[in-house]
Amino acid sequence: MNDISSIRLSRRGFTTGLACFGAAIPAMAATPRIGTAEAPLPDEDPIDPTRARGSVIAPVGAGVPPALMAKALAAMQVHNRRLWSRDVIAIADFGLPSANPRFHLVDVLNGRTTTLLVSHGKGSDPAHSGMLKRFSGVIGSEATSRGAYLTADPYVGQHGRSRRLEGLDPDNRTALERAIVIHSAWYVAPDVVAKQGMCGRSQGCFAVSPADLDQVLTRLGPGRLLYADRA
């Protein structure tokens, strides 16, 4: 049986942080402008799929770094009118290696955080070291882009069930054109980490473990914030 481990942020600290940006969880905002054309999704690294089994890993360390949390909360305020809901936000901490759980699903109402494995792009780690070296939103870069994303509509594509993302910042505004989405991949799994010391790389997408996909797509529904950066 896989263990699902969660941590709780300081309720006082978390609530105080939200208060700085308006305190209350807002009602539905403007409907996001989401493209409808499905761009083709790229192939991923050829890691033997028989090695990977989806699993939820306990978070490492104390959770979301305060500096990264502050950036995410600031992004929530800046893009408030584009968000349908602020009950859950996702924060990808690309200051950590891909072997570490670094995709935080944060429940804004109670500060509870679940942390999962997530890939970064090939173009962000050309040597496949397991560490993100650079961000880029350039088309064809195969890199991870930093900044705030709006979660959009779900669909079934090359990688199965997926969720589109709309880039809200200058560094990631090409997300729809690049087909940067959330999807699952067999190269993002504890088994892969155990054998090769890191997860495989995507071409810029936020690839999660197949075992985590249901949780991610359900909790991170349309109109929510996904924030990616380093602390």
Inter-residue contact 152 to 83 (CB < 8 Å): no
Q: What is the pLDDT of residues 109-168, one digit of tens each?
A: 887 899 999 999 999 999 999 999 999 999 999 999 999 999 999 999 999 999 999 999
- For residue 96, what pLDDT band results from cuts at 50, 70 and 90? very high
- The DSSP H or E segment spanning 195 is helix 190-196
Residue range 198-220: mean pLDDT, rounded:
98
**CA angle 168–171–176, rounded 5-degree value:** 55
Give the per-residue pLDDT at 63. Answer: 86
Give the per-residue pLDDT at 116. Answer: 98
Residue scoring higher pLDDT (222 or 36): 222
Q: Which domains does the chain have, with CATH numbers?
A: 6-24+47-229 (2.40.440.10)
Of 26-40, 66-80, 86-100, 122-136, which gets the smallest average pLDDT? 26-40
Length of the chain: 231
The β-bridge partners of 113 are 7, 106
How far is it, in rounded angstroms, from Cα 176 to Cα 117?
A: 23
Q: What is the pLDDT of residues 57-74, one digit of tens each?
A: 333 224 899 999 999 999
Where are the strands (E) in 49-146, listed by range?
88-93, 103-107, 112-116
Q: Which residues of 15-38 are buried (b: 16+ CB within 10 A; e: fewer)?
A: eebbeeeeeeeeeeeeebeeeeee
For residue 42, the one-letter residue type is: P
Residue 54 has pLDDT above 90, yes or no: no
Give the per-residue pLDDT at 138. Answer: 98
Closest by CA position to 102, among listed 174, 14, 199: 199
Round the average pLDDT of the chain to a whole number and report it. Answer: 81
What percentage of the chain exceeds 90 in pLDDT? 70
